[in-house]
Amino acid sequence: MSLDLATRPEPLAVRIGRLLPAYAGWAYDRANVGVVTKHAAIPAVVRNAPYRATNCSTLTVDLLFALYPDAGWDGKDYGDLQVFADRLPGRPFAPIEAAVRRQVGYEVDLFITGCWHLCQGWHAKPARTGHAFLVYADSQEELLVLEAQNREQVVDTRWTSLGDLRERYRGGIGVAVLRS
Reported as a single tens digit per residue, the pLDDT across 84-124 is 645 556 788 889 999 999 999 999 999 999 999 999 998 88
Comparing 140 with 3, which gets the higher pLDDT?
140
Please report, as a single letter, which amino acid is at residue 161. S
Confidence band, pLDDT 50/70/90 cuts, at residue 61: very high
pTM exceeding 0.75: yes
Residue 72 pLDDT > 90: yes
The answer to whether 112 and 159 have CB atoms below 8 angstroms apart is no
Question: What residue spans define the domains of the chain?
Answer: 10-178
Tell me the C-alpha distance between 144 and 116, whole Å.
9
